[in-house]
Amino acid sequence: MTWFLNNLPLIFELTLDHLRLSAIPIVLGFLISLPIGRYAANGTRSGRFLLSFVGILYTVPSLALFVILPPLLGIGFLSELNVIIALTIYAAAIMVRSAKDAFESIPTELLLSADAIGYDRREKFFRVELPAAGPVLLAGLRVVSVSTISLVTVGALVGVQSLGYLFTDGFQRKIAAEILTGVFGTMALALLIDYLLVLIGAKLLPWDKLQRESRRQGV
Amino acid sequence: MEIIIDALIWLIDPENWIGEGSVPQRIYEHLLFSFGAILVAAVFALPIGYLIGHTGRGQQFVVGLSGATRALPSFGLILALALFLGVSQREQAAIISLSLLAFAPLLSGAYAGVQAISSETILSARAQGMTEWQLFFKVELPLSLGILFGAVRNASLQVIATATLISYVGLGGLGYEIIQGIPLRRYDQMIGSALVVAFLALAIDWLLSKLQKLATPKGVYQFVGTN
């Protein structure tokens, strides 16, 4: 506890770094996954191929990606960009599968009604498909956000600052309190963002709650 | 591109394939800890998961637990446990941390596998007069295997990826050359090892996907699909 209290400025600074390093990949990964997931949801051969390619990206361990990317992209080893790009790839890899499931979960009747109203493809996507896919997309986004926030800590190994710095520094200096501060700090951050996502979801997707309640009542 | 070629040259160098610290030995260490952890996780997760699936009680526990363990940063956990348990017990520290990673997916997999069985199937089995144990061994277990193996694949991917971090506490594995190469900027050994881990993860996933197909009863295969 004394270690925690004596190092509040450092912890605060690392938390901010951590937040920045995770927020960008989460948002970017989400945005990238939407068109890919929508495309793959049609069940075409190229869609399936795209999905298995993205699945392969997910199998590359994060540490491996952190060391492969800098020479490949010509960016600095210690550059935050390295961790941000690697984690965006991961976030997109996890999210694409959820996005595909989300777009496939839309009832055909709903899509047909949108056609019947005379929506063009853009209107149909933004006014019908995206809102209807919302609840499943949100569930996927929550998984992505929690795992991204946890993975940011591995960046400490290549020298990119986050709460993960407390792991390596605490281990080398044999200060258990420092490592635990990092562990609990990362978890707290993950749960906080998760809670925020649920709140945003409730605000943006009021029909999700309605749907669930009507299902419970057997309507 | 030059760096990738350097990595390939490092990979085919015979010196890296024999003796102490060679690639095969690193693969062995990597798989030993990964499978050990998955086995430990399975021993605890499967009975609990099947119990929840069979009785239909405690679903909230599954949801809450899988959320909480996903938020747990494994890297920090390995280091914290290694420090607490001491250098002599860092193997246990690594196995515990990695198995916690596999615990939630396996538990949810066992539970979801049973949940996915239609209630008509369960009711018909009961109507035939099956006991609880017969119901479990003859109906629930075989029908759940497809989904369970999906969960095993997911857990293996995560554990094998995270096992690259155990070399930070001196346990070897394929992360050894990566972590050791970082301060030295030895891109050839780092990228070479990174390629081996990625290949290993893919190979294990492919192997498990074959097992998944074998384990899924023919009758349910059309519903489960190839996922």
Residue B4 confidence (pLDDT):
80
pLDDT for B20 equals 76
Taking CB atoms and an 8 Å cutoff, what residues of chain B touch A149?
71
Residue labelled with tokens 């780092």? B190
A171 with B71: Cβ contact below 8 A: no
For residues B145 and B151, give the distance between their C-alpha atoms in angstroms, rounded to a whole number: 10
The confidence score (pLDDT) of residue A217 equals 56
Give me the pLDDT at residue A213, please. Answer: 62
State which amino acid sits at residue A14. Answer: L
pLDDT of B12 > 90? The answer is: no
Check CB contact under 8 Å for A157 and B182: yes
pLDDT mean over B159-181? 89
Q: With a cut of 90, say whether residue A149 has pLDDT above it.
A: yes
pLDDT surpasses 50 at B227: no
pLDDT of A53 above 80: yes
Which of B79, B157, B177, B197 should one mutate to test binding to chain A, selecting the residue with the greatest count of A CBs within 10 A? Answer: B79
Partners of B157 on chain A (C-beta within 8 Å) are 58-59
Q: Which of B82, B185, B202 sits opposite A56 (nearest CB)?
A: B202
| Structure confidence by residue, pLDDT tens digits, A130-141 | 988 888 899 899
The pLDDT confidence band at residue A6, using thresholds 50, 70 and 90, is confident
A211 pLDDT higher than 90: no
- Mean pLDDT score of chain A: 87
Strand spans (E) along chain B: none
Cβ distance A143 to B70 less than 8 Å, yes or no, reads yes
Q: Between these two residues, A169 and A1, which has the higher pLDDT value?
A: A169
CB pairs under 8 A between A and B: 124
For residue B193, give the chain A residue with the closest CA: A64
Query: What is the pLDDT at residue A212?
Result: 65
Q: What pLDDT shows up at residue B220?
A: 63
Whether the ipTM is more than 0.85: the answer is: no
* Average pLDDT value for residue range A182-199: 93
Contact B143, B117 (CB under 8 A): yes
Per-residue pLDDT at A20: 93
| Distance separating alpha carbons of residues A37 and A97, to the nearest angstrom | 7
Question: Per this entry, what is the length of chain A?
Answer: 219
Instruction: Check residue B130 and give its pLDDT.
Output: 92
How close B72 gets to chain A, by Cα (Å)? 6
A92-113 tens-digit pLDDT: 998 998 898 889 888 888 889 9
Asked whether B29 and B171 are in contact (CB, 8 A), the reply is yes
Q: Give the residue, B57 or B32, on which the prediction is more confident.
A: B32
Residue B92: Cβ-neighbour burial (10 angstroms; 0-12, 13-18, 19+): middle
Give φ, ψ of A205 to 5 degrees.
-120, 65
- Span B59-117, pLDDT tens digits: 888 777 777 788 889 999 999 999 988 878 888 999 999 999 899 899 989 998 898 88
| pLDDT one-digit tens code per residue, B209-221 | 898 888 877 766 5
How much is the average pLDDT of B178-195? 86
Chain A residues with CB-CB distance to B31 below 8 A: none
**Which residues in chain A are closer than 8 Å to B80, comparing Cβ atoms?**
167, 176, 179-180, 183
